[in-house]
Amino acid sequence: MTITAGLVLFAVIWFMTLLVVLPVRIKTQGDVGEIVPGTHAGAPEVHHMKKKLWITTGITVILWIIIAGIILSGVISVRDFDWLNQLEPR
């Protein structure tokens, strides 16, 4: 795996993890009962974005180490996903 591939893998895992972490433990304005005029009731009251970004980064580092380790060890390779036999033989 090249450095660029490692960074791309990290970025993909980070954004996917962020989309999972964002809705966790969120209180909306409708839940609290204090809806600011001009906003939707489903808008977050307090989003705790900095904390969620740190949690996302921590989870991503752990997942990246596991996935990069699997890729670098050769346990799973591109040839494992060649179901149509389009790659040249070894």
Contact at 8 Å (CB) between 27 and 45?
yes
Its pTM stands at 0.80
* Per-domain boundaries in the chain: 3-81
pLDDT given for residue 42 in this prediction: 87
What is the pLDDT at residue 46? 86
Q: Which residues, other chains included, contact 90 with Cβ-Cβ below 8 Å and sequence gap of 6+?
A: 79
pLDDT along the chain (90 residues), means of 10: 95 98 90 88 89 97 96 89 84
Interatomic CA distance for residues 20 and 76, integer angstroms? 25
